[in-house]
Amino acid sequence: MRLVLVGTSHHHAPVELRERVALDREHSAQLSSQLGEAVCLSTCNRTELYVVADDAEEAERRAVAALAELEPQVEPALYRLRDQAAALHLFRVAAGLDSLVPGEGEILGQVRAAYEAGTPGFLLDRVFRQALHAGRKVRSQTAIGESPASVSSAAAALAEQVFGDLDGCRIMLIGVGKVGDQAARSLRTRGAEIVLTANSKTDRVQLEEELARVDVVVSSTSSRGYVLEAETVERARHGRQLLFIDLAVPRDLDPAIHELDGCYLYDIDDLEAIVSETLAGRRSEATRAEAIVATEAEKFHAWHASLDVVPAIASLRAHAEEIREAELRKAEGVLGRLDDTQRRAVESMTSQIVNKLLHLPTVRMKQAAVSADGVIYAEAVRHLFGLGEDER
């Protein structure tokens, strides 16, 4: 079984391209089902497809085609990883090490939600469970997530940079999900007043009325279209200066708003400069986190590689056990004269002989599995002991 990852992220594509391949939970689940054993992880920073198949080339082709069907221009921005590299990437994502804001806490819940909405089989179940374990371990054993500079807090910091002091600053918050709640908390702690909390279905007349008396608009809905158009903003603001912060992917706010005199629009990619200022104090913690993730990824690699030799080991042990039991049956005439204690002693002794004979070959096969020699060892054992010949 091969693990294949195809995706794009803020490292490879701007928000205007990422938003075209962004998927909500329902559509992520549908796409996962179409791809077989698959999980679709779609957040504001990334859309990634994790697929398991015997044919890695075919799995990668289908995953690329699925994303290209959403947006043909995304193909040059796609990265493709397999097996250990794909697992390591997922572990880094779950630990918050690949995020726009390193250490941000939202991603672990997003990875869990993607896993639960996907169609994981034996291999994906293992890799996602281990990724979640790695993410929790990083958070418990390092300080990378302390006082996290989330996207929401970065938005509040941007508003504070623009206005200097947010006391008395009036905020329109569009979006009542987790990101919106976090943005509201960050803004309130800086003294801002939330005058309207709306969603994508809020009456447009009400939004226009509020635009005439607010200073900042923060939007983070899951709408597939613009919540505010440039024409609406220009008509409603009556020449007032406004700051717009768009935390949504796909974007909520018409990019043309930025072209209006006195209007300043920042999307999620624009927050990167603010976020980078928070990174200096986290570098040592990030190094520790990377070490934890690398160790967990190596454990997964060893387990995944062992899948090639485990069937051969199991067959070898089953073969040896059959021989042991057959020889005991041949000696039944003698063994039958033994009492229960003596009989158990013979059973134990013969089992120990088998276990000791097979211990070193088993260890060596598992060690070889981590390298490219694993399959060769497995085939050699099958050949030397004639394993599976009866079935053939």
Chain segment 261-317, per-residue pLDDT in tens: 989 999 888 877 666 666 666 677 788 889 999 999 888 887 877 776 777 778 888
Three-state SS letters, 319-381: HHHHHHHHHHHHCHHHHCCCCHHHHHHHHHHHHHHHHHHHHHHHHHHHHHHCCCCHHHHHHHH
Query: Is 181 within the bounds of a domain?
Result: yes
Q: What is the pLDDT of residue 372?
A: 60
Model confidence at 177, pLDDT cuts 50, 70, 90, reads confident
What range defines the domain where residue 371 resides? 308-385
Query: Is 391 within the bounds of a domain?
Result: no
Nearest to 53 by CA among 101, 147, 119: 119
Q: What is the pLDDT of residues 66-106, one digit of tens each?
A: 999 999 999 999 999 999 999 999 999 999 888 877 777 78
Catalytic residue selected from 40, 44, 169, 263: 44
Do 186 and 236 fall within a single domain?
Answer: yes
Do 136 and 204 fall within a single domain?
Answer: no
**What CATH number corresponds to the domain at position 185?**
3.40.50.720
Which residue among 292, 324, 342 closes a domain?
292
Average pLDDT, the chain: 85
Count of the separate structural domains present in the chain:
3
Cis-peptide, bond into residue 148, ω within 30° of zero: no
Query: Is 303 within the bounds of a domain?
Result: no
Contact assessment for residue 192 and residue 171, using Cβ atoms and an 8 Å cutoff? yes
Q: Is 40 a catalytic residue?
A: no
Model confidence at 373, pLDDT cuts 50, 70, 90, reads low
Q: What is the pLDDT of residue 385?
A: 79
Do 142 and 155 fall within a single domain?
Answer: no
Half-sphere exposure (Cβ direction) of 230: Cα atoms closer than 13 Å:
12
Query: Is 302 within the bounds of a domain?
Result: no
Do 142 and 156 fall within a single domain?
Answer: no
Do 287 and 198 fall within a single domain?
Answer: no
Q: What is the pLDDT of residue 392?
A: 45
Region 329-353: mean pLDDT is: 88
Do 15 and 141 fall within a single domain?
Answer: yes
